[in-house]
């Protein structure tokens, strides 16, 4: 087995026991990035010198017998909307092509404190608006299982980097499925934690009430390890919950017991590709064989989730992106006639079509005479969706189902039809609206050998339950050990 496809537990153990140094592993990752990134486009930028310095510091701490953080020298990469001091954070957009944040995000601080080694910045849909990484100014990331297919989005670069063995861990952000969907398409584990469990301080905002930073890994151990490192209260984020993230020991030692699994009929209805449905049903049958009980639950308002989501997310995007005016920071037009023209030219030149579309949708929904009819009504529907989950979780521990209705689709297939692109997130969006945690776990392949993901959803702050369910599934299956053949 190649070093690049060892699971996170094996790599962590090798580092802890001194059989592998952080510099050796980081160098191997940097060499693989150099070899594969030109054809897969997972990274927007790589900082090899700084990464090796970080790795050397971890190795020196270990030699001196000092405490080494929970990440123990593991290399990882950040989605390009997570701030890293004085390192360009483009958000996949020409608007921020030359922006260098003057501070670190909370999660960046936590990674450094817990001895993670940050090797670079990952490709993404522009301002996290997209489901295929095709709206990035850097071009799309390509799926390592089939380079004619999308990697998913908006955290497509993170999923590709982990799936191709460039790094064992990565951080993405999930506003409506942007971690779970690319994880499913690329055959890795991707987790959206409970809203507020991981601070959003230093995350460049898309929709502030929906955005959540979360981990990518090849296994449940890696996702839990990274969640422990980045989770916990941060006073700089007013939505941060004053609780600690679950420890990796708690997650790995925990046994789900007689797990009660809920399934929703609507998740297996019209629009679900048969092969995807078969993989997910077989995965649920595997849980039954492990002793889980399976029963049906109802989420009657989930059919309104797409409409509610795009009203809320676009409205918040309209507000958040108003700061990019060509004056304070970001792209500024070279030629303009007056102040209004400066705004128009700067934003018109730097924002792509999808970002413009969502800003206009949000501005319309918030405009006088339409606020009550659209935005306020969407907030009421959001509350109903949360109440549906609260009722469902009274009788089950987790809800299981597909992550996306199809496997990775061909590049360019949905670019001209935004509504079909939006429907890629039909099974993931409701978790963001409700603020609950969700995870995608590899559960099979289609006849075209494209990965399929199984989604688990759990009640608020039951993130450890999700990871334990993922661990249970991975103990009984080998899908997470499959990897693309790359030269």
Would you say 64 and 30 are in contact if contact means Cβ atoms under 8 Å apart?
A: no
In angstroms, rounded to a whole number, what is the distance separating the alpha carbons of residues 225 and 114? 10
Q: Is 79 a catalytic residue?
A: yes
Of the listed 22, 155, 178, 199, which one is catalytic? Answer: 178
What is the C-alpha end-to-end distance of the chain, expressed in Å? 15
Q: List beta partners, residue 260.
A: 293
Two tokens at 389? 């989950």
In angstroms, rounded to a whole number, what is the distance separating the alpha carbons of residues 324 and 78? 22
Q: Is 337 a catalytic residue?
A: no
In angstroms, rounded to a whole number, what is the distance separating the alpha carbons of residues 150 and 182? 9
Q: Name the DSSP letter for residue 435.
A: T
| R_g of the chain computed on alpha carbons | 21
Within 268-385, strands assigned E span: 293-296
Between helix 220-230 and helix 106-113 the angle, nearest 10°, is 110
Of the listed 136, 154, 315, 346, which one is catalytic? Answer: 154
Of the listed 21, 22, 79, 184, which one is catalytic? Answer: 79
Q: Is 154 a catalytic residue?
A: yes
Between helix 377-392 and helix 305-320 the angle, nearest 10°, is 130
In angstroms, rounded to a whole number, what is the distance separating the alpha carbons of residues 284 and 480? 16
Distance of CA 107 to the CA centre of its chain: 14
Q: How many CB atoms lie within 10 A of CB 187?
A: 31
Q: Which residues are catalytic?
A: 79, 154, 178
């Amino acid at each position: 087995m190649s070093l690049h496809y060892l699971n996170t537990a094996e790599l962590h153990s090798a580092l802890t026991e001194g059989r592998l140094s952080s510099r050796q592993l980081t160098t191997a990752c940097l060499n693989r990035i150099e070899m594969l990134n030109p054809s897969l486009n997972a990274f927007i930028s790589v900082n090899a010198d700084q990464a090796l310095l970080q790795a050397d510091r971890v190795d020196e701490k270990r030699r001196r017998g000092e405490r080494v953080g929970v990440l123990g020298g593991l290399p990882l990469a950040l989605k390009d909307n997570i701030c890293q001091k004085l390192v360009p954070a483009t958000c996949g957009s020409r608007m921020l092509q030359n922006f260098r944040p003057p501070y670190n995000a909370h999660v960046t601080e936590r990674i450094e404190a817990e001895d993670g080694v940050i090797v670079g910045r990952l490709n993404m849909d522009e301002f996290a608006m997209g489901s295929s990484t095709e709206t990035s100014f850097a071009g799309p990331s390509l799926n390592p299982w089939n380079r004619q297919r999308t990697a998913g989005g908006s955290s497509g670069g993170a999923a590709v980097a982990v799936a191709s063995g460039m790094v064992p861990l990565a951080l993405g952000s999930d506003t409506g499925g942007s971690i779970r969907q690319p994880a499913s398409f690329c055959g890795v584990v991707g987790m959206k934690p409970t809203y507020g469990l991981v601070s959003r301080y230093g995350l460049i905002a898309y929709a502030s009430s929906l955005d959540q930073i979360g981990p990518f890994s090849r296994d449940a151990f890696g996702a839990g390890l990274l969640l422990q490192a980045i989770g916990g209260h941060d006073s700089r984020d007013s939505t941060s919950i004053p609780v600690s993230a679950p420890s990796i020991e708690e997650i790995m030692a925990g046994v789900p017991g007689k797990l009660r699994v809920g399934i929703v009929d609507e998740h297996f209805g019209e629009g679900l590709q048969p092969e995807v449905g078969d993989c997910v049903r077989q995965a649920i049958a595997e849980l039954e064989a492990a002793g889980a009980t399976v029963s049906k639950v109802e989420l009657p308002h989930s059919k309104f989730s797409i409409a509610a989501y795009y009203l809320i997310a676009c409205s918040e995007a309209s507000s958040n992106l108003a700061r990019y005016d060509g004056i304070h920071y970001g792209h500024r037009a070279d030629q303009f006639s007056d102040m209004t023209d400066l705004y128009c030219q700067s934003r018109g030149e730097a924002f792509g079509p999808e970002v413009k579309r969502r800003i206009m949708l949000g501005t319309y929904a918030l405009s006088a005479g339409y606020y009550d009819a659209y935005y306020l009504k969407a907030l009421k529907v959001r509350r109903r969706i949360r109440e549906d989950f609260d009722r469902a979780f009274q009788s089950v521990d987790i809800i299981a189902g597909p992550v996306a209705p199809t496997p990775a689709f061909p590049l360019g297939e949905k670019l001209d039809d935004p509504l079909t692109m939006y429907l890629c997130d039909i099974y993931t969006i409701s978790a963001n609206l409700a603020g609950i945690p969700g995870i995608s776990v590899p559960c099979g392949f289609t006849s075209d050998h494209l990965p399929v993901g199984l989604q688990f959803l759990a009640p608020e702050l039951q993130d450890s339950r999700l990871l334990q369910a993922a661990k249970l599934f991975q103990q009984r299956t080998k899908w997470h050990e499959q990897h693309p053949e790359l030269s």
